[in-house]
Amino acid sequence: MIKVKINGRERTFDGDPEMPLLWFLRDELDMTGTKFGCGAGLCGACTVHRNGEAIRSCTTAMKDVAGKTITTVEGLSANGDHPLQKAWMQANVPQCGYCQTGQIMHAAAFLKKNHHPTDDEIDAAMSGNICRCGTYQRIRAAIKTAAKEMA
Amino acid sequence: MSIENVSRRNFLGGVFSAGALVLAARILPEEALADTNEYHGKAASAALRPSIYLGVEPDGTVYIVTHRSEMGTGIRTTLPLVAADELDADWSKVKIEQGIGDKRYGDQNTDGSKSIRGFFVAFREAGASARTMLVQAAAAQWGVSASECKAQLHVVTHTPSGRKLSYGELAQAAGKLPVPKPEALQFKPKSEWRYIGKESQIADLADICTGKAVFGMDVKRPGMLYASVERPPVMGGSVQSMDDKAALQVRGVKQTASIDPFKPPYTFQPLGGVAVIADSTWAAFQGRKKLKIEWNNGANASHDSEQYKKELLETARKPGKVVRNIGDVDAAFAKGGKIVDAEYYVPLLAHATMEPPVALAEFRDGKVEAWVPTQNPQAVQDTVAGALGIKPEDVTCHVTLLGGGFGRKSKPDYVAEAAILSKKTGKPIKLVWSREDDLRFDYYHAVAGMYHKAAMDDKGKTTAWLHRSVFPSISSMNDASSMYGFNVEYGMGLNDMPFDIPNHRAENGPAKAHVRIGWLRSVANIYHVFSGLSFADELAHAAGRDPLEYQLELIGNGRIIDFKSQGVADYWNYGESYEKFPFDTARLRKVLEIAGEKSGWGKRKPGNGWGIGVAASRSFTSYVASVVEVEVDKNGKIHIPRTWQVADVGMVINPDRVRSQFEGAAVMGASIALSGEISLSDGRVKQSNFNTYPVARMNQAPLRTDVHIVESSALPGGVGEPGVPPFVPAFANAVFAATGKRVRELPFSKHKLV
Ligand code: FES
Ligand code: FES
């Protein structure tokens, strides 16, 4: 039996401990804001926070989140008003939108460490997150807007 | 096209209250709508309802249904904006609803950049009709002339007296009036447009940013099981023998089930294979790894991309089927002068939508209900019906948001798989494609080999141009013996080159398909415009001229191209009438000229690892010029500091969504040029995930793309696709300017640039 705290709530899991967290979130808890894009740690669509750090939930087994604290996009802010979410809406970042929760979650962990990121630092930090629709320049702009608000 | 009042027909089931004014805009004959009293019995379930209509409820809520699919263009918001503007509705009182698949509503295939082109008028008429009726109802109530009343922001006002009635208060009375004839409608003057051409936000913005938006991957039904399919590794193969013992031992796996291979031609049928059905996606994936299958590989098992490339390029060296002819290229070449020729090659490409194909289907009592991220819900109905031997009207297709489409999700093979499995298991089945499935079993963008040859006089003027193109055609989808392309593929950069050259011939050579061929954002334009506009750049350099100036000279004077007199019997023109949407080279010249100004073209001398390139093309009836600036470092690493996309797309409804499409097209163009390649050996696709099929990431995409929209009152043209074609050659031309290396074979990653 694995215990894990997700968005402030204690959850238990008694399936295959090798199953990635992504499928526990999506298939069992119906928390579908975390997306499946590649299943191999290559696209970032499945990004969540484990003890505050951005991880790829598609390649993180349930046994590796036992006793940990997980935050998903559903728990990022109470009213969808995290500075990144506000900046995202202000810049009209999303096109299809499928990658965007992963982008926001990755950016949120990044901004906690770097309050005044440069273009190059943003590019380096965000290049693990693919957006096939090509919203990168707006993502970069939105991260800067949010960084200003958070600083 | 006509609009009629359907309030009294119970047409919309229980969606609207009895007093609502409900208008249906249709492009089908009257009878198609008239025979129906009921809408699948599902309309009352609220969230998903049919196509083009607009309704006003007595509480003032305006419902606008969009029957086109949302895959990132913003169309789900943009078409309703058109109707809301003509209605002069308060946008905060508008509820957008997604239409399900239903042919009574006309074309729903969200493809070909044609949603606005095809439905601007219908939505405008729907809004104008409702407004007219509301005004008439108010005038009747007050006993005044309608001409003294004005509809504004959800309220009708009697101007002389200042009396007011809200749309909601009028809905019931207006619902009893006849619908005005389209020719009697008066549209709002441009000066009064409230939403058209103004900045607005997509309806799903907040849901997307908070994880609440529902994509196909996110749908669930009670009792649902998950499925993953092991498909024949070679196209046309089938299962010879199968051992599922180990798979059935995997925790969570419930059963396995087979899916028959397609009967040629491949159309939208499933590829066949063995499905593992389980209680989670993960268990289905794990079980699948344990299947032991022997395959019959069939005729495509020896297919090899390297060998095939040689064949395509050899064929391109031989005369082919003539698809356009001006003057006499052979006579011109015989005269001598400077001759330039080159081979070009573009490999197979995959769509790689961020959300892989996925479908949820529930078979019950001989009927199917499906929840699908599809561009083409009516094809879902037809395909599922065909696969199960039921009637298309017994298939209900709910359309979710799409995590990208790019043409892949027009082809519903994946929905048929889910439906077949649901019928076999008696459970709702969610069928999930892995990324590996997506890249290995796509309907690929065609590989193409091209040959260009030109003659130049002593002043550097191009006097003759031969363009040959050889590619496996999309028509192989419906014709297993297909060897040639068809007018749709020709009309995308092969028989519509805009250059004014006295001797020009375009030819298409034969090629057989060994994988499923489909269409990817901008389709045959990708290879034709890449090779044609790269070759134009080659000619400029051969003539010692500035590439932008030379492209303008090649285009020549502003004129309407007369394809008929040039041996183009059935010019496609993106399905539009040539009178309404002629190929006007003046508009092409203009986007190029603006691109030159905006980018400061000619101010900095290229070389030493810095370069700039330009290309322009017309596609989907829109005109686009791309300028791309590159830096290539000592290791050959390419950086794109800046690009300019200048677009004349005619009249613009939603400027921000136009800009975002052109920004995105630049990134997709960068992916195609930098690293896009699907290749096969032994008939099997070699790539598997984003490590072997890389797409542009933030640090590879343009750092900045400036989109300039040309002010225009021309009929609206396409937006989703036309940004891709010119970007790719502009990028290649910039790389040449920076490094002196002419890349004639994509992707760049195959070449050493320095
Ligand atoms: S789905 Fe986890 S990184 Fe792509
Ligand atoms: S918005 Fe579509 S993949 Fe990023």
- Nearest chain B residue to A84 by CA distance is B209
For residues B309 and B294, state if they share a domain: no
- Nearest chain B residue to A58 by CA distance is B282
Tell me: pLDDT of B215 over 60.
yes
Architecture of the domain delimited by A83-150: Orthogonal Bundle (1.10)
- Nearest chain A residue to B434 by CA distance is A38
* pLDDT at residue B57 in the model: 87
Residues in chain A: 151
Per-residue CA distances from B715 to B122, B319, B582 (Å): 14, 39, 11
Interface predicted TM-score (ipTM): 0.99
| Chain B partners within 8 Å of A130 (Cβ) | 354, 690, 695, 697
For residues B116 and B265, state if they share a domain: no
Least confident of B54-63, B376-385, B429-438: B54-63
| Three-state secondary structure string covering B646-671 | EEECCCCCCHHHHHHHHHHHHHHHHH
For residues B531 and B401, state if they share a domain: no
* pLDDT at residue B104 in the model: 73
* pLDDT at residue A131 in the model: 98
The structure tokens listed for B739 are 């490094």
For residues B413 and B526, state if they share a domain: no
Min Cα separation B647/chain A (Å): 18
**Ligand 2: centre distance to CA B238 (Å):** 35
**Ligand 1: centre distance to CA A43 (Å):** 5
Does residue B83 lie in a domain region? yes
* Inter-chain residue contact B72 with A133, CB threshold 8 Å: yes
| Chain A partners within 8 Å of B356 (Cβ) | 36-37
- Which atom of ligand 2 is nearest the CA belonging to B353? 3
Which ligand has its closest atom nearest to the C-alpha of B695? Answer: 2
Q: Say how many domains are in chain B.
A: 4
**Ligand 1: centre distance to CA A73 (Å):** 15
Q: pLDDT confidence of B10, banded at 50, 70, 90? A: very low
Contacts of B47 (CB under 8 A, 6+ apart): B97, B98, B398
Domain borders along chain A are 2-72, 83-150
Residues 14-43 of A with CB under 8 A from B: 15-16, 19-20, 23, 26-28, 30-40, 42-43
How many whole angstroms separate alpha carbon B412 and alpha carbon B381?
9
Beta bridge partners, B612, equal: B629
* pLDDT at residue B54 in the model: 87
* Inter-chain residue contact A27 with B212, CB threshold 8 Å: no
* Inter-chain residue contact A98 with B354, CB threshold 8 Å: yes
Single-letter residue type at B57: E
- E strands, A17-149, in order: 47-50, 53-56, 69-71
Name the average pLDDT for chain B: 92
Collapsing DSSP to helix, strand or coil, B513 comes out as: coil
pLDDT in tens, B110-130: 999 999 998 998 899 989 999
Contacts of B128 (CB under 8 A, 6+ apart): B86, B87, B185, B186, B187, B188
* Cβ contact B694:B366 at 8 Å: no
* pLDDT at residue B37 in the model: 28
Atom 3 of ligand 1, residue of closest alpha carbon: A41
- Nearest chain B residue to A27 by CA distance is B280
Last residue of a domain, one of B432, B466, B486: B432
Does residue B51 lie in a domain region? yes
Collapsing DSSP to helix, strand or coil, B673 comes out as: helix
* Cβ contact B86:B131 at 8 Å: yes
The structure tokens listed for B55 are 């309704």
Burial class (CB in 10 A: 0-12, 13-18, 19+), B326: buried
* Inter-chain residue contact B699 with A124, CB threshold 8 Å: yes
Does residue B161 lie in a domain region? no
Nearest to B541 by CA among B475, B422, B460: B460
**Residue among B226, B354, B660 minimizing CB distance to A99:** B354
Residue-range definition of the domain harbouring residue B176: 43-129+168-209
How many whole angstroms separate alpha carbon B725 and alpha carbon B727?
6
Across the A/B interface, how many CB contacts are shorter than 8 Å?
A: 192
For residues B612 and B520, state if they share a domain: yes
pLDDT in tens, B408-454: 999 999 999 999 999 999 999 999 999 999 999 999 999 999 999 99
* pLDDT at residue B3 in the model: 45
Atom 4 of ligand 2, residue of closest alpha carbon: A131
* Cβ contact B666:B723 at 8 Å: yes
Nearest to B454 by CA among B494, B502, B495, B492: B502
For residues B120 and B1, state if they share a domain: no
* pLDDT at residue B52 in the model: 52
How many whole angstroms separate alpha carbon A83 and alpha carbon A6?
21
* pLDDT at residue B103 in the model: 81
Per-residue CA distances from B534 to B527, B736, B742 (Å): 11, 10, 9
pLDDT in tens, B541-553: 999 999 999 999 9
Q: pLDDT confidence of B211, banded at 50, 70, 90? A: very high
Query: How many secondary structure helices (H) and strands (E) does chain A include?
Result: 5, 5
Collapsing DSSP to helix, strand or coil, B393 comes out as: helix
Q: What is the DSSP letter of A14?
A: -
**Residue among B204, B206, B212 minimizing CB distance to A33:** B212
Domain A2-72: assigned CATH number: 3.10.20.30
